[in-house]
Amino acid sequence: MPKKRPQGIKASDLVGPIVDKLATLGKEHRAAPMLEEFIFNKTELTQNGALESGHFKRVGDVSSHMEDARSVFLVKHVFSGLVLVQKVIHKDKNPDVLQLIHNEIAIMHECVCPEIIEFYGSFLGSSGEDVNIVMEYMDAGSLDSLLERVGRIEEYPLGIITDNVLMGLKYLKSERHVIHRDMKPGNVLVNTKGEIKLCDFGVSRTMGTYQTKAMTFVGTVRYMSPERLTGQPYSDASDLWALGFMLIELATGNYPLPLNGKDVPPIAELRDPRHPSWSGPITTPFEGVPVMELIQLILEGPEPSLPAGPFSEPFRNFVTITSRRKPTQRCSLDVAMAHQWIQDSRAAKLDMAKYFLGTLQFDPEPFESDEEDEEEEEEIDLGAARAQGVGQIKNLD
């Protein structure tokens, strides 16, 4: 007799906590409309029982790469018509990989926050070999794809994005007691409703154990903090390093460190897809850069900073205090959230829905795979790195 297939997490099981959260916040809270829609959608999804493969019809391929044993599809729920994203992760016998999958499902299952991607449930595929995670569809893509469309992101839209990222990180730290550990542009999603949300929690670590020294690299090396690269204890200050580092890239259109022996290019021109001279999306030139060379640049290269250009002094200061090489010299999450640049960005009262929509004018497929990221998301033995003369333990404190 065949074994009964596990039904996964029912979306209806998650409605109760969301209702409680909405009651606590009140109908006038800025998050109330999102939570009400979330409750409605979850209820719709469970009218026909626990989620399973037959409930969804694939209507698009959100990410075609398979190197990390997963693929992401745009799907329609056949009973409600809801358009969602289905991440298919092929099960691995490696216990570390299984733990990453478990981490992502567990954290998404518990999160109820406007700045965190909405999780609708999970289930095993019909063969029992695939784990399927169902989440909301963010129709303007990631910050990676946004950067490719516009060349660089202007200061105040970037400030609003940063404000939302900080609120997401604060929620993860204060209420879920985790740090993200893989902050990068590809893990910040946006939509044409003007929402900005964090995703991809497979590498998140519980705050109670984050002081354990990491002997392997988990996450994307490109945005990894010096203390993590050298195997020292780390905290949410590592997420702030990644944030400050990627802000320079998003504001200038260029990775902050010189690659392939070349100087960092000048600040990119603003690009408007509606303009006749627009030549299409651009990519950061990471091709051919060895991982060990990248690590050495982060540890020993110039400390990241904004170049001369059209940037306010508060923005420059924010980048400086979040991306200092020594973790004890970086600001805290609370200081970052109260920073003058964040206040100025809020005061600008930008219509982010209009901004994100405007960037999609000539980009019918905002979600694109980032194969360079996947190449760098390899697990590297710290001892092997040191044997090559890279990543020597330094006193960063």
Q: What is the CATH number of the domain that holds 83?
A: 3.30.200.20
pLDDT at 250: 94
Domain end among 116, 136, 156: 136
Report the alpha-carbon angle 69-108-247, nearest 5: 80
Q: Is the pLDDT of residue 45 over 90?
A: no
Indicate which CATH number applies to the domain containing 340: 1.10.510.10
- Angle, vertex CA 58, rays to CA 56 and CA 61, nearest 5: 140
pLDDT at 30 over 70: no
More confident: 90 or 372: 90
Say whether both 337 and 307 belong to one domain.
yes
Q: Which domain holds residue 329?
A: 143-387
What are the residues facing 89 on neighbouring strands? 70, 131
How far apart are the C-alpha atoms of 250 and 134, rounded to whole Å? 29
Q: What is the pTM of this model?
A: 0.76
For residues 12 and 106, the model is more confident at 106
Q: pLDDT confidence of 360, banded at 50, 70, 90? A: confident
Q: What is the largest CA-CA distance in the chain?
A: 70
Beta bridge partners of 124: 131
| In the predicted structure, residue 241 carries a pLDDT above the cut 90 | yes
Judgement on whether residues 381 and 358 belong to the same structural domain of the protein: yes
Q: What is the pLDDT of residue 338?
A: 97
Tell me, yes or no, whether 111 lies in a domain.
Answer: yes
**Does 218 lie in the same domain as 99?**
no
Cα-based distances in Å from 196 to 36, 85, 160, 181 = 18, 16, 9, 18
The answer to whether residues 169 and 239 touch, using CB atoms and an 8 Å cutoff, is: yes
Is the per-residue pLDDT at 25 higher than 70? no
Q: Give the pLDDT confidence score for residue 370 in this predicted structure.
A: 40
Q: Is residue 2 part of a domain?
A: no
pLDDT (tens digit per residue) in 184-227: 998 999 999 999 999 876 544 443 433 333 333 445 788 888 88
Of 149, 200, 151, nearest in space to 365 by CA: 149
Give the per-residue pLDDT at 200: 79
Return the residue matching tokens 């567990």.
106
Say whether pLDDT at 277 is over 80. Answer: no
pLDDT recorded at residue 140: 92
Please check whether residues 180 and 307 belong to one and the same domain: yes
Q: Could you list the active site residues?
A: 182
Q: Which two tokens stand for residue 107?
A: 């954290």
| Placement of tokens 């996947």 in the chain | 374
Which pLDDT score, from 0 to 100, does residue 315 have?
97
Predicted local distance difference test score (pLDDT) of residue 273: 52
User: Do 230 and 323 belong to one domain?
Assistant: yes
Q: Is beta strand 119-124 parallel, antiparallel or unpaired with respect to 178-179?
A: unpaired
Asked if residue 311 has pLDDT above 70, the reply is yes
Q: State residue 68's pLDDT score.
A: 43
The last residue of a domain, from among 98, 121, 136:
136
Q: Is residue 250 part of a domain?
A: yes
**3-class DSSP state of 161:** helix
200: left (phi over 0), alpha (psi -120 to 50) or beta: left
Average pLDDT, the chain: 75
Same domain, 104 and 147: no
Q: Where are the alpha helices (DSSP H) in the chain?
A: 15-25, 32-45, 95-110, 143-150, 155-174, 226-229, 237-252, 291-300, 313-322, 333-337, 340-347, 352-358, 371-376, 382-387
Q: Which residue has the higher pLDDT, 113 or 281?
A: 113
Instruction: Answer whether residue 6 is part of any domain.
Output: no
pLDDT at 231: 82
On whether the CB atoms of residues 177 and 208 are closer than 8 A, the answer is yes
Arithmetic mean of pLDDT, 114-121:
88
What is the average pLDDT across 48-61? 82
User: Residue 188 corresponds to which tokens in the numbers above?
Assistant: 């910040």
* pLDDT over 50 (residue 367): no
Q: How many domains are there within the chain? A: 2
Res. 322 pLDDT band, cuts 50 70 90: very high
